[in-house]
Amino acid sequence: MANLVTSLCCVVLAAVVVAYAQRRSQLVARNQYERMGSDVTMQCGSLDNDASVSWKVNGTDVKAQHRLEGPRLILTQVNLGHNGLYSCFQNPHGERRDTIILHIGIPPREPTVTCRSNTYPKGFYCSWHQLYSTYIPTTFEVDVQHNQRSLEVQKDSVHKNRCHVRFPEVFSSFPYKVNVTAVNALGKASTTITFEESTIVKPDPPERVTATPIRFNPRRLEVSWHSPATWPDIDNFPLKYFLRYRPLIRDQWQHVELSDSTSHTITDAYAGKEYIIQVAAKDTEIGTWSDWSVAVHATPWIEDPLPIASTTEDSSTLLTETKTSPIPSSNAPQKAEPPVGRAAKLLTFFSPLLLGMLLLLM
């Protein structure tokens, strides 16, 4: 008898647990992804077709164009404005039976993929992006093939749409094939690119570019820079550089290509004019030029202003002052200065007499 009672208790307890689990699963919000512009049907849990329910979105009545068919809510031509938390309640007591988070989006399109090696010969990286937003979470699967085998792909810790791949060998004649597939709840799309090792080599721009005027040389600027820190083996894989410069008053650049030097003296600068200067880098054998470095500004050496002399009242001490204005040209009109001292007093005394004599003669 005791065993029978125990068995019955276990059965009842199991039924309660199952019922509670079902009810719990209905109350936990579930995600539903639908395509933009389509008609969407949301089912209120596992209720029968003749069940009577009411729906709310974000806690208020559903106002968008819709219709009810038993336990189902049907939205027509959905858009981003239909996103929200939908809850259904069974009539007549208004007991909540299900909760759905509706996400409206579009399937992914083929991603744009580019690959580049700025750490040659260590490895390369590939980046990808979608030209159009899907409005819902989208992930990317990456596969890299070389000489009929898959290479290890390491996701970038900072850029979510970037991965890194090590070169399995240097100077390989086999092409690389990279496939990137965009995947979300509404579909998938992929892009495949193929390239040779030499075509993706592109260093980062040179760093710490400086331009210094040369004393007593009003037409020269000493420019120096450092190779990019990301370039791992500058001794075995040297870089060449491309320098461009121009005065701010002109739009046309002047260019100088250098084999492996990290400095150059500009000898044809306009005296006293501010210059803008940039440098690019390239592997000496393969690849393409880097982007331009951060621009620096510099002005060639300008001669110190000439000193001018002034005297004190007793003319015993000669003082030197900084010249703050240009020296007037010899043909510039000069302002007459009034006479000073005894000559001025005599001229002031005789002027009325001279004027009277002139009037008598007339």
Q: Does the pLDDT value for residue 360 go beyond 80?
A: no
Q: What is the DSSP letter of 306?
A: P
Q: Work out the mean pLDDT of the chain and round it to a whole number.
A: 84
Q: How many CB atoms lie within 10 A of CB 334?
A: 8
**What's this model's pTM, rounded to 2 decimal places?**
0.71
CATH superfamily of 112-200: Immunoglobulins (2.60.40.10)
Alpha helices, DSSP H, located in the chain: 2-27, 342-361
CA distance linking residue 290 with residue 240, whole number of Å: 11
Under DSSP, is residue 70 helix (H, G, I), strand (E, B) or coil? Answer: coil
Predicted local distance difference test score (pLDDT) of residue 14: 54
Pairing of strands 60-61, 53-57: antiparallel
Q: Which of 29, 38, 35, 21 is nearest to 86 (CA)?
A: 29
- The 10s digit of each residue's pLDDT in 46-88 is 999 999 999 999 999 999 999 999 999 999 999 999 999 999 9
- The 10s digit of each residue's pLDDT in 299-332 is 999 987 656 554 444 444 333 333 333 323 333 3
Q: What stretch(es) of the chain map to CATH 2.60.40.10?
A: 25-105, 112-200, 207-298
CA distance linking residue 156 with residue 255, whole number of Å: 36
Q: Band of the pLDDT at 333, cuts 50, 70, 90? A: very low
Both tokens assigned to 191: 């892009």
- The 10s digit of each residue's pLDDT in 255-290 is 999 988 999 999 999 999 999 999 999 999 999 999
CA distance linking residue 119 with residue 283, whole number of Å: 11
Both tokens assigned to 71: 């336990």
Fold of 25-105: Immunoglobulin-like (2.60.40)
Both tokens assigned to 133: 């937003």
Fold of 207-298: Immunoglobulin-like (2.60.40)
Predicted local distance difference test score (pLDDT) of residue 2: 52
CA distance linking residue 325 with residue 232, whole number of Å: 54
